[in-house]
Homo-oligomer: A and B are copies of this chain.
Amino acid sequence: MAAPRRKEIKEAPETKGRGPKWRRRSDERPDEILDAALDEFVEKGFDQARVEDVAKRAGLSKAGVYLYFDAKEDILRALIEREIAPIARRVRALAEAGRDNPMSTLTGIIGAFMTVLENPRVAAVPRLVLSIAGRFPEIGEYYRENVVEHGLSAFASLHRAGVEQGLFRDVDSAMAARAVIGPVLVHVLWTHVLGGPPGGMSAVERAKTQIDLLLNGLAAPDLREAS
């Protein structure tokens, strides 16, 4: 916990003569606080994290934090909103790409999920959401609507396209989506939450195996039912 150096922005006004009237010294404070909060929340959980520690990590005093956020809860809310936006955007992008080539998009999705969630800081957000969703239902709903449901519908359209091209079987989209993200989720929980050993496989190998299993099924080839 090295004392974070205060940012020293001595930068002169951009336009010498007629600059903007008000140039705040720290427009980036809110983001710095959110960064610090994410670290603290990940380390200790929302309840056990102290606002004072968040403040210290961000390089200001507790009272300073309350200049930018009205309550601890609001820090959490803002944090989750900030972290979720890019995910929603990415999901959307994947959905767009999916129309043309469902199969490679699917493998792309699984691969991306796995590698992105390898990063503990990324994996931490869904964990945080899960752990506080009971107490702040709106946060859970927000996450559901903006990430999960978004993702689901994106996947559904991808699946639909694949069915039309004769690539995928016409099963229930929601169930298929669960078959896609379920194993990834289990892996995340296993490694990041329960502290299990990562196992021998690399992320790429795991992704490959999972896709194979997802597409071709567990049943021996000669036993598969046509559907």
- The docked-state distance in angstroms from the alpha carbon of A195 to that of B130 is 11
Q: A169-B221, A217-B217 are in contact. List 7 more A-B contacts (CB 8 A).
A: A134-B193, A178-B186, A179-B214, A214-B217, A214-B218, A216-B217, A217-B224
- Name A183's contact: one of B135, B175, B220, B223 (CB within 8 Å): B175
- Whether B45 lies near A135 (C-beta < 8 A) is yes
- Whether A135 lies near B219 (C-beta < 8 A) is no
Which size bracket describes the interface of A in this complex?
35 or more
- Report B-chain residues with C-beta under 8 Å of the C-beta of A223: 166-167, 215
- Whether A133 lies near B194 (C-beta < 8 A) is yes
User: Residue-by-residue, is A168-180 near B (CB-CB < 8 Å gives 1, otherwise 0)?
Assistant: 1101101110110
Kindly identify, within residues 103 to 134 of chain A, every residue whose CB is under 8 Å from any CB belonging to chain B: 127, 130-134
- Does any Cβ of B come within 8 Å of A67's Cβ? no
- Whether A175 lies near B213 (C-beta < 8 A) is yes
- Whether B168 lies near A178 (C-beta < 8 A) is no
- The docked-state distance in angstroms from the alpha carbon of A186 to that of B185 is 8
- Report B-chain residues with C-beta under 8 Å of the C-beta of A143: 194
- Whether B219 lies near A224 (C-beta < 8 A) is no
- Does any Cβ of B come within 8 Å of A140's Cβ? yes
- Whether A183 lies near B179 (C-beta < 8 A) is yes
- Whether A215 lies near B221 (C-beta < 8 A) is no
- Does any Cβ of B come within 8 Å of A141's Cβ? yes
- Does any Cβ of B come within 8 Å of A90's Cβ? no
User: Residue-by-residue, is A14-57 near B (CB-CB < 8 Å gives 1, otherwise 0)?
Assistant: 00000000000000000000000000001111011000000000
Least distance between A221 CB and chain B CB atoms (Å): 5
Which interface residue of A141, A149, A185, A201 has the most chain B CB atoms within 10 A? A185
- Name A224's contact: one of B43, B178, B224 (CB within 8 Å): B224
- Whether A218 lies near B169 (C-beta < 8 A) is yes
- Name A220's contact: one of B169, B182, B185 (CB within 8 Å): B169
- Does any Cβ of B come within 8 Å of A187's Cβ? yes
10 pairs of residues in contact across A and B, judged by CB atoms under 8 Å: A137-B195, A144-B194, A144-B195, A169-B219, A169-B220, A179-B210, A181-B186, A182-B185, A217-B217, A221-B224
- Report B-chain residues with C-beta under 8 Å of the C-beta of A167: 219-220, 223
